[in-house]
Structure 1
Amino acid sequence: MNKVLAVFLGISILANVILGLMYVGQRATVSQAEEKTVDSKKQIVQLKDESHKKEKALTTFRQNESYYEIEHSEEVKRFVDETFKELFNYDNKTYAARFDLVRNKLAESVISKLMASGEMGSTQIEFSNKVKALNVYLSAVEKDQAKALVNMETQYSVGGSEFPRKNQIYEVTLVQNGDKWLLDKLELMGSFEPFEQN
């Protein structure tokens, strides 16, 4: 019986050693899997951060690209140029009618202010205002909004007598309405007579 007990004890010890080795092997495999899972989670977080940064950079690039397009747009500059010439080239016959030319280019509030600032009745005295030079400098505010500084040189005359040329600086706010631009705000920043020094 001792022999059977010794064999049984030997088999039991051998089984425990095998189970112990299997447990240690399984534990090592689980630890490796946990380490790989933690590493994978770190990589996923890192990739999400990189993706977010690249998405943000792309959004900034697109925004800057649209700003650049507005600031260098010949179409917008031409719109401002034409609007100012239609608005500020006038004589006593066309003074009131000029607002009809620009009605679809100016916000109603701008037209109201301009009409309120001048006499709309006809006069017998001949007068005229001619735009001699115009420079437009654009700056984008949003993808559908821009500001412009306009330096306009005009020649005003009354009864055939010309006054000295005058420069006026305007700040203009433009908004895009569909595929068209609208002059939303017009503010005279100042006027001066050119000074030349030889």
Structure 2
Amino acid sequence: MKHYFLIGALILTNIIFIFLYAGELTMQDNNQEETTSNADAKEVTSDQDFQVNKSEVKQQESSNAEETTEYAKATNAAQGKIKFIKEAFTTLFDYNNEDYKSRFKVAEGMVKENILQNIQGMMGADVPKIKFENDVKGIKVYITPTSTEKVTDALVYLTSTYKMEGSDGSKRNQLFRIDVEQKEGSYLITNLESYGFINPISQS
């Protein structure tokens, strides 16, 4: 009887062991599936992040390209204004007996009419009888290079040498503030303020 009892207990123990082993295998399979699912989810998320970052980089590159293009346009426009200003000031302030009066005619369309009249009035309408010459040596123009406004404020520093018959000539330094307006693809000086002759003081 005892013998049968021991056999029954062993059989029951084996059955319980089998169930426990099977349960452990099931749990391991579930954990493995969950790990694989999480890995797949992370991979998808990583791909999505990569696509988003790639899009942001493209947008930044596009924005930088637009800014570069705008700056290049503004810089080219500034160079065009500087070239015009130098040409206008050379026409007005580089003269001698022969073109003393005709220079104002040449400057028409470059400088507003009332400005030309004021300059002519200050310098005198009649050509001096003695031989003379005002030779422009240099023109420096200061404007904002990225300005896209139709009216540009600029400073002009002009150096020249004025000679009269029988003299060695004297160096002149003049400072002006002007407004340059863009009209139909061309430029016009609409305002001119002269700060007179200046004597730079060099310190070192």
Per the normalisation by structure 2, the TM-score is: 0.59
List gaps (5 residues or longer) in structure 1: 1-57
In structure 1, the residue matched to 2:98 is 93
8 A contact 1:155–1:164 mirrored in 2:
yes
8 A contact 2:140–2:156 mirrored in 1:
yes
In structure 1, the residue matched to 2:114 is 109
Alignment of 1:136-175 (within 5 A): 136-139=141-144, 143-175=149-181
Q: CA deviation at 1:180?
A: 0.6
Q: CA deviation at 1:194?
A: 4.0
Alignment of 1:41-80 (within 5 A): 65=70, 69=74, 73-80=78-85
8 A contact 2:174–2:198 mirrored in 1:
yes
Distance in 2 (CA, whole Å) between partners of 1:116 and 1:123 is 14
Q: 1:115 to 1:141 in 2, by over 3 A?
A: farther
Q: Residue deviations 1:29-73, cap 9 Å, x none? A: xxxxxxxxxxxxxxxxxxxxxxxxxxxxx9xx99xx58x816962
Q: Residue deviations 1:135-184, cap 9 Å, x none? A: 00113776211011001011001114133312111001111111111001
Distance in 1 (CA, whole Å) between partners of 2:75 and 2:194 is 22
- 3-state DSSP of counterpart to 2:118: helix
In structure 1, the residue matched to 2:139 is 134
Counterpart code for 1:159 = E
In structure 1, the residue matched to 2:185 is 179
8 A contact 2:111–2:189 mirrored in 1:
yes
List gaps (5 residues or longer) in structure 2: 1-62
Distance in 2 (CA, whole Å) between partners of 1:120 and 1:150 is 25
8 A contact 1:71–1:138 mirrored in 2:
no
In structure 1, the residue matched to 2:194 is 188
Distance in 1 (CA, whole Å) between partners of 2:105 and 2:90 is 13
1:123 aligns with 2:156: no
> How many residues are paired up?
137
Name the Cα RMSD after superposition.
2.7
Per the normalisation by structure 1, the TM-score is: 0.61
Identity within the alignment, %: 25
Distance in 2 (CA, whole Å) between partners of 1:166 and 1:72 is 30
Moved more, 116-125 or 133-142: 133-142
8 A contact 2:177–2:194 mirrored in 1:
yes
Q: CA deviation at 1:123?
A: 2.6
Distance in 1 (CA, whole Å) between partners of 2:173 and 2:138 is 9
